[in-house]
Chains A and B, each alone.
Chain A
């Protein structure tokens, strides 16, 4: 069965500092990987996706993620965060069936 583990439930960071949100997955088949962001009282919004090809994926708002097949990881990074990046971030895996499996989320808190 597929699963997604987000290793940090909360990540506090100062404004303009770099950040990495970690995601590991388990799957015995090829996967499609996603990162979504959720602001309070809103639905999820796609940040970026990995379907195939280059393992470094660039998304919106300056975020990027790297797919590492050997380590089954898909960590999200941003070189310099803003206050407005404070939100909940979800890693998700889709293996070609009907289900997308989401991690439990990482709360990014950017401090001034």
Chain B
């Protein structure tokens, strides 16, 4: 079955380290998204991509970067992890265009000490 996976599911890191969270989908979806979830804020958009080589900043993009070298993957990189980036991170994908269902991965819990 087609699916969307995230790895690792849990990670502990130290302030200042570079961290990369992986997102992989097997639906061949054009659109991919990264969100973070914090208590009291719901889910907020970090970065998104509408296709290979396309990346865009979302509402809370500072300190994060993404790259899209193929359809299946959109890795999220924290260049220099900060304690404020402790959160749960969700990746999502949708087929293409607007007005289509987004499907979410299981999430990655990141703790920055």
Q: Does A pair with B?
A: no
The chain B residues found within 8 Å of chain A, CB to CB, are none
